[in-house]
Chains A and B, each alone.
Chain A
Amino acid sequence: MEESRQVDERQLSRNLVPLPMVVEDEGLPDPRQGDVDEWGRSERVRSFIRTVYEPMYSKWFRVEWEHFDRIPAEGGGLLVANHAGAVPSDAPVIMHGIESRLGRPVYGMADYFFRTVPFIGTMWSRSGGVAARPENAERLLGEQGQLALVFPEGSKGPSKSFSERYHLRRFGRGGFVEIAMRSGTPVIPLAVVGSEEAMPVLFKVPALAKLLGTPYFPVTANLLAMGPLGIVMPFPAKIKISVLEPITFDVEPGLERYPRSLVLEQADRVRELIQEQVFEMLRSRRSIWWG
């Protein structure tokens, strides 16, 4: 079954993902020329990236999904995953996998820091990156029924060193739970294995991070093994992604505020579930490279 899926996945990735109708059309002329949507995502750019990234996805990382059918084919969903590797491979892999299989866009929420970087910030935005603001996520999920991918560990995930691998960091202040509650969308937890070994962080240089204004400056094994190429090139670790049972919160959507204790409790629960699943997958993993 996994085999047949991979075939039509490759076919799909060449076709354009149809963009969903966002607002009711009142027949106003809209003489647009480009295809950049209101989030800055361009389907043409995404489609090009999917074509280029496909060998990376299927040959280099040989990505395998478990319970892919738990990802909704339509309607909003907040994908929550663990985050790892100095330049994390988990985000592009998850976005590529879902977009090519389901033919629907995935918006990757990340630090607003990207918006300040010329060229990279624009590319990031065109390829589906959105600044992680609760207002943005709620509009995407609630009003537009899209898929949004968040990493609640934030930059604390990818910046942790190799000795702490697969130990999930604190899930922020549980903002993602509040977003899901307010927009009335399910949380879909994803456990990712392999991303830690793709780009292990040996040590960090805080002074350089400060100088460059980046959230962190890691020295990776890739950097030592491959030189400058190691900045972008991950090791070919086998990446496995397990989709956990979607979680819907039993609260009224659209409220201004939710009880802090409930939010933190639920955030912790999601974190525990992902952590447990990651350990489970590591227990059955025989080889870093072959899975």
Chain B
Amino acid sequence: MGLMGRRVLVTGADTFWGGRVIQALEEEPTIDVILGLGEHDPSVPFERAEFVRADQTYSILHRLVRATAVDTIIHTFLVSDSTTVSSRALHEINVIGTMNLLAAAGAEGSKVSSLVVKSSTKIYGANERDPYFFTEENRRSTSAHTMVERSLIEAESLIDDFAQDHPEIAVATLRFANVLGGGLRTPITRNLSRPLCPTLLGFDPQLQFVEATDVVRSLEHAVKRDLRGTYNVAGRGRIPWSEVVKLAGARPLPIPAVHHKLLMRPFQAAGIYEMPDELADLLRFGRGVDTSKIEATGFRYRATSAGAVQSFTEQLRLDRSAGRSPTTYRYEHDVEQFFRHSPAVVDRR
């Protein structure tokens, strides 16, 4: 049904992804209303989106959904990087937050007709028994042993149940491969940005990446097309980790796989490297997903897996030469409100 006249709510507006999605939606003049929901101040400026503050678990969502009559929710606030928050917060955000979101979207008087969720291919895990290309129907080979994987599984099962209970709402879950580019910071980008990048000795797994703009574009695509069901999103091709390290201009630092936890600990404590369990599994067995399902809906990628690595490398070189661009933006509630609502403002764009 396209974007004409839509009233869109974006969760995690204070995070990297929420901010990027809102900025992309602001480019679409036919969208009626854009609401951003977040716990902290947004880190990027919004032109016309309204920002609403909420706690981690979104307890005010119920009122908000009814009061604003939003018809579309983009749920970008599923945390898939376990190094950014405590495991308790991870559960609160991914499971309880999603639960409240779904309760609000399905409540009586809700106008929500479309829900798009940003999930991760981490949900498949990484194991020697895996198929080389997971399809959306494949189950993971072993039970999840990391907190982030468990919470994503739980969140997705809540979403599945919701989709079954509410056939009138188009629910799409997009599972993204590891993202590179666009100034995003993850354990992988941190390790790759060092002159020596950790690898597991004797292992050279094949990985898939997705470029940051393709993440935003595919979420937008899912909204525009009212997609239903689960979709893998990953750039074409699988690349050996050794080649990724080379493309990023780093040299490999091989760590014996059996003792990697012990050996990595001082580096992690010093903030040089990150090696959460889910990354250690990935650097041993790699992961690939089949992306034909989302391509069949008409989505076209801007970058392959190697293209995503390239985009990351270029950003890295720029940062090294010109320095990381300082964050000049600071969210001021009164100022934003003035520009949006004061009768004195003539041109609101």
Q: Which residues of A contact B (CB under 8 A)?
A: 23, 26, 28-34, 36, 38-40, 112-113, 115-119, 121-122, 130-131, 133, 135-136, 139
User: For residue A139, which residue of chain B has the nearest CB?
Assistant: B133
Complex contact A38–B128 (CB within 8 A): no
- Contacting residues, chain B, for A119 (C-beta < 8 A): 202
Complex contact A115–B285 (CB within 8 A): yes
- Contacting residues, chain B, for A115 (C-beta < 8 A): 128, 285
User: For residue A120, which residue of chain B has the nearest CB?
Assistant: B202
CA gap between A40 and B288 in the complex, in Å = 11
User: For residue A25, which residue of chain B has the nearest CB?
Assistant: B236
- Contacting residues, chain B, for A116 (C-beta < 8 A): 128
- Contacting residues, chain B, for A26 (C-beta < 8 A): 300
- Contacting residues, chain A, for B259 (C-beta < 8 A): none
Contact of B236 among A23, A112, A117, A136 (CB under 8 A): A23
CA gap between A234 and B246 in the complex, in Å = 38
- Contacting residues, chain A, for B129 (C-beta < 8 A): 112, 131, 133
CA gap between A24 and B345 in the complex, in Å = 52
Contact of B304 among A28, A121, A122 (CB under 8 A): A28
Can you list, as one digit per residue, whether each of B225-236 has a CB less than 8 Å from chain A (1) or not (0)? 000000000001
B310-339, CB < 8 A from A: 310
Q: Which of B204, B243, B303 has the most CB of A within 10 A?
A: B204
CA gap between A39 and B206 in the complex, in Å = 8
Q: Which residues of B contact A (CB under 8 A)?
A: 128-133, 135, 138, 200-204, 206, 236-240, 242-243, 246-247, 257, 285, 288, 290, 300-304, 306-307, 309-310
Complex contact B306–A122 (CB within 8 A): no
User: For residue B239, which residue of chain A has the nearest CB?
Assistant: A32
Give me the 5 closest cross-chain CB pairs, A-B, nearest first.
Answer: A118-B202, A135-B131, A115-B128, A119-B202, A38-B238
CA gap between A167 and B128 in the complex, in Å = 31
CA gap between A90 and B57 in the complex, in Å = 59
- Contacting residues, chain A, for B130 (C-beta < 8 A): 131, 133
User: For residue B235, which residue of chain A has the nearest CB?
Assistant: A28
CA gap between A115 and B129 in the complex, in Å = 9
Complex contact B257–A28 (CB within 8 A): no
Complex contact B243–A34 (CB within 8 A): yes
Q: Given A38-B206, A121-B203, A135-B135, A31 and B306 touching (CB < 8 A)?
A: yes
Q: Given A131-B132, A133-B131, A31 and B247 touching (CB < 8 A)?
A: yes
Contact of A33 among B206, B246, B257 (CB under 8 A): B246
- Contacting residues, chain B, for A40 (C-beta < 8 A): 206, 238, 240
User: For residue B286, which residue of chain A has the nearest CB?
Assistant: A40
Q: How far is the CB of A94 from chain B (nearest CB, A)?
A: 22
Contact of B302 among A28, A30, A33 (CB under 8 A): A28
User: For residue A26, which residue of chain B has the nearest CB?
Assistant: B300
Complex contact B128–A34 (CB within 8 A): no
Complex contact A135–B310 (CB within 8 A): no
Complex contact A30–B206 (CB within 8 A): no
14 further A-B pairs in the complex, CB-CB below 8 A; given A23-B236, A115-B128? A28-B236, A28-B304, A29-B310, A31-B306, A31-B309, A33-B243, A34-B240, A38-B133, A40-B206, A112-B128, A118-B200, A119-B202, A133-B129, A135-B135
- Contacting residues, chain A, for B257 (C-beta < 8 A): 118
Q: Given A115-B128, A115-B285, A131-B132, A32 and B243 touching (CB < 8 A)?
A: yes
CA gap between A116 and B126 in the complex, in Å = 12
User: For residue B200, which residue of chain A has the nearest CB?
Assistant: A118
CA gap between A130 and B128 in the complex, in Å = 11
Q: How far is the CB of A49 from chain B (nearest CB, A)?
A: 17
User: For residue B204, which residue of chain A has the nearest CB?
Assistant: A122
CA gap between A227 and B133 in the complex, in Å = 42
User: For residue A40, which residue of chain B has the nearest CB?
Assistant: B206
CA gap between A33 and B138 in the complex, in Å = 31
- Contacting residues, chain A, for B290 (C-beta < 8 A): 139
Complex contact A135–B203 (CB within 8 A): no
Q: Given A112-B129, A135-B135, A136-B131, A28 and B285 touching (CB < 8 A)?
A: no
CA gap between A45 and B243 in the complex, in Å = 15
Complex contact A39–B132 (CB within 8 A): yes
Complex contact A30–B237 (CB within 8 A): yes
Contact of B247 among A28, A33, A117, A139 (CB under 8 A): A33
Q: How far is the CB of A134 from chain B (nearest CB, A)?
A: 8
Complex contact A32–B237 (CB within 8 A): yes
CA gap between A130 and B203 in the complex, in Å = 15
- Contacting residues, chain B, for A34 (C-beta < 8 A): 239-240, 242-243
- Contacting residues, chain A, for B288 (C-beta < 8 A): 38
Q: Given A36-B240, A116-B128, A28 and B133 touching (CB < 8 A)?
A: no
Q: Given A28-B301, A28-B303, A33-B243, A121 and B132 touching (CB < 8 A)?
A: no
- Contacting residues, chain B, for A130 (C-beta < 8 A): 132
CA gap between A32 and B236 in the complex, in Å = 12
Contact of A38 among B138, B237, B246 (CB under 8 A): B237
Contact of B128 among A28, A29, A131 (CB under 8 A): A131
A–B pairs, 16, beta carbons within 8 Å: A28-B302, A30-B304, A30-B306, A30-B307, A31-B306, A32-B237, A33-B247, A34-B242, A112-B128, A115-B285, A131-B131, A135-B132, A135-B135, A135-B138, A136-B133, A139-B133
- Contacting residues, chain A, for B138 (C-beta < 8 A): 135
- Contacting residues, chain A, for B239 (C-beta < 8 A): 32, 34, 36
CA gap between A115 and B287 in the complex, in Å = 13
- Contacting residues, chain B, for A118 (C-beta < 8 A): 200-203, 257
CA gap between A130 and B147 in the complex, in Å = 30
- Contacting residues, chain A, for B247 (C-beta < 8 A): 31, 33
Q: How far is the CB of B282 from chain A (nearest CB, A)?
A: 13
User: For residue B202, which residue of chain A has the nearest CB?
Assistant: A118
Q: How far is the CB of B236 from chain A (nearest CB, A)?
A: 6
- Contacting residues, chain A, for B135 (C-beta < 8 A): 135
Contact of A113 among B128, B132, B202, B301 (CB under 8 A): B128
